[in-house]
Structure 1
């Protein structure tokens, strides 16, 4: 597979990548390849075995194999936010009550990576590098690409201050859903924050969830179950399209949404 062209550098604080740490890298490739049609290539070393997923020759996501001693940690998709200075962003995370778990770490010649968590405990990544990944906005209808990121917390507004202070995100409350905030950067919506109160899953806690575009969420659910995943929330209509939430064979939650309605 030929290397995809670089994308314009996103503004600091913009989502620029999504990655999943897994226990079984080969099994994860089989599941997501069968579900989204992803093809894979080995990525840079430095953080253990790593692969990039491609759609139509474009990199759309990454997966890494867990290292010894981390097997019991929660498996979850991590959104990465762009940064011009990973050291400065790490300091901002700490200064505003978050935790830096890894990094900044050099990722061969690709850039520098940080794994952190916010004040609620939801994990995310920070990426500094001259090379950025992501999908062109004009092509967000392509199956298998990440199209939205959603933070699941107990109270939406309690999480807002951290992302505003660290990444410059602005929050806008949705009139139809007072427990939902849209995070914006330079006037553009980039992610959501959903407050679920006492419905926050005890076994997952606060976490980020990634939405992937698909042609038919109902068919995607059937395929995921056949491949060893399970349904967390069945297909249903939302203001933004037909969507469903799934768990992969290792338990990582993610959502699919009809691409024709995005």
Structure 2
């Protein structure tokens, strides 16, 4: 596996991070489940590590600030050219900016925001760290999708904030396009809200069983879909994610 370091166009998902109250437990779970190894990352918001596959960075895990009440969730970060300017657009479009913009050492500049429905997402202006270095492989991110009860408002918000091109997909979702290529989706649903991170796996059924053995839960059993065999899982602290069989 070769780590690829490229600057992604604005509006492209470029990184995913988990904030959890059990940092050591999360590292043990995802390390065993997805084959991750860990190294240090910026610590402006507390303890934070970067996960990698064979040396290629794929995700981050940090510690939830003391007293924080928000649930354990994965956060999708979008590449932006100017985190301050895009954060201002979030405010202008009715969203909120909970953290930042702030400098993450020499890695880049970040902000954590929420859309009109309260779904959290991140903005990343990469400098030394441009984002994930491998995708589409077992253990790496493969897709990001927003679940929302108000698709028209979500579509208008992300179009205005990120400057994304959005178009209806054949599967009933709205696709975010960069240079004509789909990079994420917005799905109308009543089964929750928020951005969902999809990780690749070589064997969806085996990964689902392994997640339970490691103390996690299977929220939706493995099933065949037009995009491959998928399962919805939760880690021992409740962080939700999807695994997709690839390769």
- Spell out structure 1 runs of 4+ moving beyond 6 A: none
For structure 2, the residue ranges without an aligned partner over 5 or more in a row are none
Asked whether the equivalents of residues 6 and 133 of structure 1 are also in contact (C-alpha less than 8 Å), the reply is: no
Q: Name the Cα RMSD after superposition.
A: 1.4
For structure 1, the residue ranges without an aligned partner over 5 or more in a row are none
Asked whether the equivalents of residues 155 and 194 of structure 1 are also in contact (C-alpha less than 8 Å), the reply is: no
Query: Which of 150, 175, 200 is equivalent to 2:145?
Result: 150
Aligned equivalents of 2:153, 2:58: Cα separation in 1? 31
Q: Which deviations, in whole Å up to 9, do the C-alpha atoms of 1:64-119 show, x marking residues without a partner?
A: 0011121x211111111111111101001000111000001111111111000011
Secondary structure, in 3 states, of the residue corresponding to 1:73? coil
With the length of structure 2 as denominator, give the TM-score of the two structures.
Answer: 0.95
Give 2:237's aligned residue: 250
Asked whether the equivalents of residues 3 and 57 of structure 2 are also in contact (C-alpha less than 8 Å), the reply is: no
Q: How does 1:1-262 map to 2 (within 5 A)?
A: 7-70=5-68, 72-131=69-128, 132-136=130-134, 140=136, 142-175=137-170, 177-178=171-172, 180-196=173-189, 199-201=190-192, 206-260=193-247
Aligned equivalents of 2:40, 2:140: Cα separation in 1? 18
Q: Number of paired residues? A: 245
CA 1:136–1:226 in 2, change beyond 3 Å: closer, same or farther?
A: closer
